[in-house]
């Protein structure tokens, strides 16, 4: 993913609300969100490297990765998309997994990773000297920098999500979450971050929703995980002109003994 706004333990019935945009080259082949057989998880799939950018298990555990803009890519670096199925297909808790990953995190190109189990949400970036940490209840934003970096689109989506949670704490307003990620506002030059790609590209990447013939927002994902681990997920895909092409919805019910 390239932009996320998420609320952890701020809803009366849900442990997580999340809305995110995946920005990518339109020529890079990908499969839409669907159930994988092994490991058993719901996710899209990058058909070039085989991994994914966001996934959720039947038990309500989830993980999502964003690329970190800037910095060199290590020679022979493994795909960051493998991190999510490795967590969801394994038996480690979220923080245990992130702490183990930190020991080898610099082998990957830059990334930030969120991982959650039933009781905890952890965050780790291999560009953050603070290392893995648990996130408390709150509303957060993440793009291609560190968590809650004050990029205009991060601040704007995080603040709007906080307003949505406050206005409707019982049930996530799915269409409003899609609308949140559709914002095409270009940030003023004086507010742009400097990630080493040049002012013109920073400007092009500054909207929450990016439209372009070669590169842009490929899909928006909305995910709401209830307190019992059941969840609803929806994904809307877009063409290079920013037009919605397909939408998929999924629901997982909590298992009962």
Q: Can you give the residue range of the structural domain that contains 167? A: 3-248
**Residue 255 placed within a domain:** no
What is the reported pLDDT for 253?
73
What is the reported pLDDT for 181?
98
What is the reported pLDDT for 257?
34
- The CATH number of whichever domain residue 58 belongs to comes to 3.60.60.10
**Residue 256 placed within a domain:** no
Please state, as a whole number, how many other Cβ atoms lie within 10 Å of the Cβ of residue 148: 16
Rounded to a whole number of angstroms, the CA Rg of the chain reads: 17
3-state secondary structure of 1: coil
What is the reported pLDDT for 232?
96
**Residue 253 placed within a domain:** no
**Residue 254 placed within a domain:** no
**Residue 144 placed within a domain:** yes
**Residue 257 placed within a domain:** no
The number of domains in the chain is 1
- The phi and psi torsions of 126 (rounded to 5 degrees) equal -80, 5
Please state, as a whole number, how many other Cβ atoms lie within 10 Å of the Cβ of residue 150: 11
What is the reported pLDDT for 256?
39
- The phi and psi torsions of 225 (rounded to 5 degrees) equal -105, 125
pTM of the complete model? 0.95
**Residue 162 placed within a domain:** yes
What is the reported pLDDT for 254?
56
- Which helix (H) or strand (E) segment holds residue 102: the answer is helix 94-102
Q: Which residues contact 96 (CB under 8 A, 6 or more apart)?
A: none
Q: pLDDT (tens digit, 9 = 90+) per residue, 154-186?
A: 999 999 999 999 998 888 899 999 999 999 999
**Residue 140 placed within a domain:** yes
Q: How far apart are the first and last CA of the chain?
A: 35
List of the chain residues with pLDDT < 70: 254-257
């Amino acid at each position: 993913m390239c932009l996320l706004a998420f609320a952890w333990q701020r809803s009366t019935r849900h442990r997580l609300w999340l809305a995110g945009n995946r920005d990518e080259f339109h020529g890079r082949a990908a499969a839409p969100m669907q159930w994988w057989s092994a490991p058993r998880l719901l996710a899209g799939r990058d058909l070039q490297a085989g991994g994914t950018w966001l996934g959720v298990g039947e038990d309500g555990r989830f993980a999502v990765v964003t690329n970190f803009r800037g910095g060199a890519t290590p020679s022979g670096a493994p795909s960051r998309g493998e991190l999510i199925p490795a967590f969801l297909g394994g038996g480690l808790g979220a923080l245990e997994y992130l702490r183990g990953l930190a020991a080898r995190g610099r082998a990957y190109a830059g990334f930030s990773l969120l991982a959650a189990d039933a009781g905890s949400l952890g965050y780790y970036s291999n560009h953050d000297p603070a290392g893995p940490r648990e996130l408390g209840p709150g509303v957060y934003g993440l793009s291609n920098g560190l968590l809650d970096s004050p990029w205009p689109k991060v601040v704007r989506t995080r603040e709007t999500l906080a307003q949505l949670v406050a206005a409707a704490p019982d049930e996530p307003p799915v269409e409003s979450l899609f609308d949140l990620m559709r914002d095409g506002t270009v940030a003023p030059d004086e507010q742009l971050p400097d990630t080493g790609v040049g002012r013109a590209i920073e400007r092009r990447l500054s909207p929450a929703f990016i439209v372009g013939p070669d590169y842009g927002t490929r899909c928006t994902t909305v995910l709401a995980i209830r307190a019992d681990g059941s969840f609803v997920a929806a994904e809307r895909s877009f063409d290079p002109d920013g037009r919605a092409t397909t939408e998929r919805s999924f629901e997982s019910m909590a298992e009962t003994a």
